[in-house]
Structure 1
């Protein structure tokens, strides 16, 4: 609800108070908030994202860090490939990249919003092919769909040409946010959708995290106030060599055989895992955390199932210190390197 306030309406109330007009408004807003009549003001959040060509290494260490004696097998024959990635920037000059957490791997910048916000995403295509940003979950009009270029009303945002830019407007309404049985924040995918069957495999994937209205840490920080840490995992098999086994990279966030690092937490922390998947019919994954359990929409488990384009968010309070495995429990996926480790430090 938006309150239109005129100071003159309350002049008689304040006539004996030494308070300026602005002060009267602030006092009234304070009273409204005190009695539960106030409501958070929606924000417009701007992001600057560029698509760029890079060289990606699936195992920077050159080693199998899960079972060193086994080596990398056929999957280590070639480790570096040309890829396309989304990068976040500080502003529209596209000079200073935003720093990504180490665990993000190949993922694009994480976009955040609270229910009621609007996302303005400025996209610059710095590559050699038309690309886009297509979001899941949020509300948009046809011009901001980022897909289906041949349809009426699509516009340039459906296929941004090389060297060009476009600003997407995505509204985070109630239907974009957590449902009644969801935790206080949920995850949505975004990805390029010009030739969508190719572009996720190129590496053009990222996530949007939406927090329930009233549960953001602050107006500036829309992350949820009831968790201490949030991690994101993309389980996906990248096909680099037209189906040849050596090119089927079974990854977590674009890394294989324990080469993804940075999942560090401690006993007693409130940790939320956002789990997503993309790919083909082989991308049916059973995500398993060793030594801990998660709460999955009221169900206690230590395995979460995901299919291509699945998105789910689960909660954990680590209770056992150690350096633990996180992996897909499908046998041939484990064998091909879809594993990493995450560290739980002793609590203070």
Structure 2
């Protein structure tokens, strides 16, 4: 199983070729990501800014075997759902079509919304069976207050159901109703490849090794991981042979930035973070493991493969044998 954004080429405005949103129109290029066109207005300094409003329709669909997912078109639901992206100052209006026979919703983290867009039964904000409802999410830019500033909305966030099974959406989360939400700041580095990793109970993207996703990139490509936690268990996310800064973006802000550099970070229920790495930088192409570093979790199947191919796309020496061993030993072991 591979989640792989096809080699993106820059669009006007420097944004990668994923899914484009322009006002009310959405052109779907891949079901895994939603990006904005380069026509989005720059957010004004301070306050909410003068961003663009993006209107999309999402579909919640049964996928069989107790699984339910979100998608950008009928028949395109996935687990995780599509990556939704905005710039600070933008607004997103999501019309959610519930095609199932159960109540569900969509609830975001990290952005602003009224009680009518809360996505929880507590505020009578959800889709009944077969119903359609619109949710409005807003973002802000950083606001200067003299010596200090109020933070804007930029960050690696997420969205999920908050109504199926219980008033907290426990059934929906178990079924796969979740996805990544990114609010970028103008000037942020945009990736070549983008992957969502969700630790949910003892599963990764609702799967267990050896059926966990194998993420693929080519040597030297910029790869973005969005990591999300759900369920009832403590986890940590570890990526072999790659490091990132423990900052909003995963980058250091210059040679004097003393932020710690890490390769393992807590990923617990409701939390999320993201970072970018250069695939194989300093270590070369190969099959690299990612996994939860709680040992009985990785032994129990919470592990997967990050395959860094050669620059020409060919399989590096030893990689296929490593992948075969991973499948033979299922969860495997990692340090």
TM range (shorter): 0.5 to 0.7
The reply to whether residue 186 of structure 1 matches residue 155 of structure 2 is: yes
Aligned position for 1:307: 268
Q: 1:186 to 1:122 in 2, by over 3 A?
A: same
Deviation at 1:226, TM superposition (A): 4.2
- 2:191 and 2:82 map into 1 onto residues whose CA distance is 20
The reply to whether residue 169 of structure 1 matches residue 136 of structure 2 is: yes
Could you list the structure 1 runs, at least 4 aligned residues long, displaced by more than 6 angstroms after superposition. none
- 1:96 and 1:335 map into 2 onto residues whose CA distance is 34
- Greater helix content: 1
Q: Where does structure 2 lack aligned partners over 5 or more consecutive residues?
A: 1-41, 144-148, 248-258, 313-335
CA deviations on 1:277-323 (whole Å, 9 max, x unpaired) are: 0111xx21121111222222232121111111111112322322101
Q: 1:251 to 1:115 in 2, by over 3 A?
A: same
Report the TM-score, using the length of structure 1 for normalisation: 0.63
- 1:228 and 1:185 map into 2 onto residues whose CA distance is 20
Q: Verify the 8 A CA contact 2:126 2:133 in the aligned structure 1.
A: no
The reply to whether residue 253 of structure 1 matches residue 208 of structure 2 is: no
- 2:162 and 2:223 map into 1 onto residues whose CA distance is 31
SS of equivalent residue, structure 2 residue 297: helix
Q: 2:68 aligns with which of 84, 98, 101?
A: 84
SS of equivalent residue, structure 2 residue 63: strand
The reply to whether residue 336 of structure 1 matches residue 305 of structure 2 is: no
Aligned position for 2:83: 110
- 2:136 and 2:154 map into 1 onto residues whose CA distance is 21
Please, what is the CA RMSD of the aligned residues?
2.7
Q: Verify the 8 A CA contact 2:103 2:127 in the aligned structure 1.
A: yes
Aligned residues: 241
The reply to whether residue 272 of structure 1 matches residue 233 of structure 2 is: no
Aligned position for 1:139: 112
- 2:75 and 2:104 map into 1 onto residues whose CA distance is 22
Q: Where does structure 1 lack aligned partners over 5 or more consecutive residues?
A: 1-32, 56-80, 90-94, 99-104, 216-223, 238-249
CA deviations on 1:77-115 (whole Å, 9 max, x unpaired) are: xxxx312221222xxxxx4638xxxxxx62112211111
CA deviations on 1:24-72 (whole Å, 9 max, x unpaired) are: xxxxxxxxx9xx9xxx9521112211112222xxxxxxxxxxxxxxxxx
Deviation at 1:192, TM superposition (A): 1.3
Aligned position for 2:246: 296
- 1:231 and 1:109 map into 2 onto residues whose CA distance is 11
- 1:112 and 1:300 map into 2 onto residues whose CA distance is 26
Q: 2:52 aligns with which of 32, 43, 46?
A: 43
Deviation at 1:228, TM superposition (A): 2.7
Q: Verify the 8 A CA contact 1:295 1:315 in the aligned structure 2.
A: no
Deviation at 1:142, TM superposition (A): 1.0
Aligned position for 1:345: 309
Deviation at 1:167, TM superposition (A): 0.6
Deviation at 1:327, TM superposition (A): 0.8
Structure having greater relative contact order (Cα 8 Å, sep ≥ 6): 1
Q: 1:143 to 1:269 in 2, by over 3 A?
A: same
Q: Verify the 8 A CA contact 2:216 2:308 in the aligned structure 1.
A: yes
Q: Verify the 8 A CA contact 1:47 1:111 in the aligned structure 2.
A: no
- 1:230 and 1:84 map into 2 onto residues whose CA distance is 22
CA deviations on 1:141-191 (whole Å, 9 max, x unpaired) are: 1111111x34xxx34xx1211111011111122269xxx9x9x96321211
Q: Verify the 8 A CA contact 1:295 1:316 in the aligned structure 2.
A: no
